[in-house]
Chain A
Amino acid sequence: MQREAAIREPLIFGDKSYQDITNDVVGPIEGSAPRTWKILVTLTGLVALYGVGCIMYLIGTGIGVWGLNKTVGWAWDITNFVWWVGIGHAGTLISAVLLLFRQKWRMAINRSAEAMTIFAVIMAAIFPGIHMGRLWVGYWVFPLPNQFGSLWVNFNSPLLWDVFAISTYFSVSLVFWYIGLIPDFATIRDRMVKPLPKKIYGILSFGWSGRAKNWTRFEEVSLVLAGIATPLVFSVHSIVSMDFATSVIPGWHTTIFPPYFVSGAVFSGFAMVQTLLLIMRKAMKLEAYIHTKHIEYMNIVIIVTGSIVGVAYLTELFISWYSGVEYESYAFINRFSGPYAWSYWIMMTCNVISPQLYWFKKLRTSLAFTFVLSIVVNIGMWFERYVIIVTSIHRDYDPSSWGEFHATPIDIGIFVGTIGIFGTLFLLFARFFPVLALNELKTILKSSGENYKKLHNTDNH
């Protein structure tokens, strides 16, 4: 049997048996909803409804209700899109890349991180959709046979690559998540007493029975999906960055964009996972499964990706000067000293300086500090996209067309609304779905559970 070094901190605390894991995770689903959950879901539901209202108004009236103008044609819409897609990178990174690296600590967090990914990608997909203005002809982005003289979409365009990247990423993440959920739904199905929930979980579990051959296939599918989802994670945000990098706008036309966007995405994704998990572990009493060690590992990922992002910011700045291109230099001087300098300095503070605090062990193992910093990072990453998009295009080659962007209440309403929809979906997930990967946690109980580790240690002496 596989054993782990005694010096490693156990991943599962307490004296747990297989049945305890099931009880701890499925118990909250069986009971009635706690009052805090009801209050939270009402709040996020109201915000979500407000957001849906703003979206309806936007579709009914036209995208003129946003603050966009002829100079600044992309602003909050695409900022929000890139922000949400970025957040959606942590889930698949945790479940795919960390699976390939055999990181066992991922098992406590992968289920909820993947759920977060899926909801975040849905939120992201809203923005280019409504930005088209005429949502009802949105299907024109796909290469469908048509009556317009057989006009096809342009496969040379990064915007079309993005259509393929986002839809592939969304559907593959969904399948990956659901395949992992099936055995856990079966566990719930077999525990449920009331007929209706039993029936529903029975349908959701696809008749899973846990035969030896099923498990062999399950592990193979997980491994192969992880193998192909890994390059997918990196490709998606690379392609998002190409929406900018293949243009000729100073400030966008940069070869550093793909790696810089990918690490920025992982950075913000992990921050969002931290924000949600720190609340969830307290609310659902999962302290035995998600503890300081998990948070510390995630904070280390945040230092690494945050530092890569910081280096990328400085490289961009240096290259804009070193290139000797007047327009390119001006774009960056304008960034840190122009009318949007405030957003640039918010970005620099939140994304470059704040994660460096995690070099102190005391800070990176402090849950309260992590919670605050995860929100700071999320704010910083939103401003990063705002800086890249708005400050680059508000002053272009022709000074007579320079302009500024001012957000309208609809801009704000839709953005806040997507946070509400996201929150509602996540709360529903936490209430009705197994929030930890039961079957995976059970496989590591004997090698990384506290009680079993103690047992092994006494055996050895």
Chain B
Amino acid sequence: MYDDDDVLMRAAETLVAKGLKVKEVYSPFPLHGLDPIIGVKRTRLAIAAFMYATGGTCLALLGMWYFMIHDWPMNIGGKPSFSLIENLPAFIPVTFEFSVLCGAHGMAITYFLRNGTLPGMPATNPDPRTTDHMFVMEITTDENHSNSADEIEGMLKDTPLVELSIKDYE
């Protein structure tokens, strides 16, 4: 456990340089530049959002074609509804709004599911202080077979940490 973000970042760098694998970092706010150090890949959420939004565009156009052109065409103000292309300008606002609606909500739902954050889920941070002002780095022996538990402990103690807790998961 560390009490400063920059200290944790430097510690993570030294540990990774020594060949350790950092399992997880818990922090009260996003740490910029940490992801490449501990090997967190870039998220693909933006791509998902794009696909949801495109789906929304198609669905909106399909719906309006069905309602206005196919199922019940009406002649409003001398402007008949006979083809999607001719009526398209009037359909742009709803198409745009519906794409944004699907993109935003699709992404939000994916985000909640991928993070495992849903109403009523239990909190899994190891220490309540990690949402306030402390930063925790988690290293397991399972992922670091090349080093013994004592070696890892020694390496960790070389970094300016505040607290070290060793838990046995077996």
Q: Which residues of A contact B (CB under 8 A)?
A: 1-2, 17-19, 22, 143, 149-156, 158, 160-161, 164-165, 167-168, 171-172, 175-176, 179, 182-183, 186-187, 189-191, 202-221, 223-225, 228-229, 231-232, 235, 239, 242, 438-440, 442-443, 446
Contacts and interface: CB of A to CB of B under 8 A. Distances in A.
Nearest to B50: A224
Contacts of A161: 93-94, 97
Nearest to A1: B6
Nearest to B69: A155
Interface SS of chain A: helix
A95 B64 CA distance: 32
A56 B38 CA distance: 59
Contacts of A168: 97-98, 100-101
Contacts of B107: 221, 224-225
Given A216-B35, A228-B100, A190 B125 contact: yes
Contacts of A228: 49, 53, 100, 103-104
Contacts of A206: 112, 117-121
A111 to B, nearest CB: 14
Interface SS of chain B: helix
B33 to A, nearest CB: 8
A184 to B, nearest CB: 9
B34 interface: yes
A208 B121 CA distance: 8
A164 B97 CA distance: 6
A190 B131 contact: yes
Nearest to B94: A164
A217 B43 contact: yes
Contact of A443 (B29, B42, B49, B100): B29
A143 B93 contact: no
A443 B87 CA distance: 49
A232 B93 CA distance: 10
Given A161-B93, A190-B128, A212 B28 contact: no
Contacts of B28: 18, 22, 183, 187, 210, 438-439, 442
